[in-house]
Structure 1
């Protein structure tokens, strides 16, 4: 339940209420600024088409 969250933008594995945050998340992912997942060693690159 609860109140509706409002419109969400989605791209690849990112979801946000702001398009700008999706672009920032894509930049952060490409620069590998996210904390690594314990036990994972593989890096999955972003799709070629980036959000605008």
Structure 2
């Protein structure tokens, strides 16, 4: 979902602005509880339990 949004928005922007947009989306995605769960479960070698947050 988010990747599609990024691609659609980047089509309208300069390369510099497109990269800035992508970085802002990545920052938002990696600040979620699910992102932390993904990393933590990988370190603990278990399946992640995502909650959609």
Fold match by TM threshold 0.5: no
TM-score (ref. length: structure 2): 0.32
Greater relative contact order structure (CA < 8 Å, 6+ sep): 1
More strand, by proportion: 1
More helix, by proportion: 2
